[in-house]
Amino acid sequence: MSPRRDRWIDESALQRVLRDLLCLAVVGDHVRWVVTDDDDLVDWLSGAGRRWREWAETLATRLAEDGVPPDGRVRSLARDIGANWVPDGWLTSEAARRLIAQRLGRVAQETRYQHSQSEGSDAELLGSVATGLEAQVSARRDARRATTTAG
């Protein structure tokens, strides 16, 4: 196994969730800037992006307190560039909502898994982030139902 691959295996749960939150924030920014017909989604993404960055900041602070060096906190970000691909050009409301629902659901699920594998204060922190992400998933699902019903 290559040394680069070993670094990924040694990545902590906090590092994984930090990476996922930052990638989600970047995808959210992209969608917010290119969606053509959904002001409600743009407004929601503005608030959600701030929250994702706040959670990421909390995780990064914890990693620094735990002595994880800066390169260990951010090196894995490049690993998921392909997984966080966004479509070219402008996005319709439907395409944007689908993209955000997919990414948000994946990050919430992965964070809940990392929470289940953690102990102590890491588990508490990851549980809090997972609960917040799951609340966002539910809010997006409710908004989608309301839009579908109104349509």
**The pLDDT of residue 118:** 94
**The pLDDT of residue 116:** 96
* pLDDT tens-place string over residues 14-58: 988 998 998 899 899 999 999 999 999 999 999 999 999 999 999
**Domain region containing 17:** 3-150
- Is 33:60 a contact under the CB 8 Å cutoff? no
Taking 50 as the threshold, does the pLDDT of residue 101 lie above it? yes
Across all residues in the chain, what is the average pLDDT?
85
Which DSSP category does 98 fall into? Answer: H
Taking 70 as the threshold, does the pLDDT of residue 71 lie above it? no
What CATH code is carried by the domain that includes residue 16?
A: 1.20.1260.10
User: b/e string for 136-148 if b means 16 or more Cβ within 10 A?
Assistant: bbeebeeeeeeee
- Is 37:151 a contact under the CB 8 Å cutoff? no
The torsion angles phi and psi of 136, rounded to 5 degrees, stand at -65, -40
* Total of domains in the chain: 1
Mean pLDDT of 118-133: 96
Q: Please report which confidence band the pLDDT of residue 9 belongs to, taking 50, 70 and 90 as the band edges.
A: very low
Task: Write down the pTM of the prediction.
Answer: 0.82
Mean pLDDT of 6-12: 56
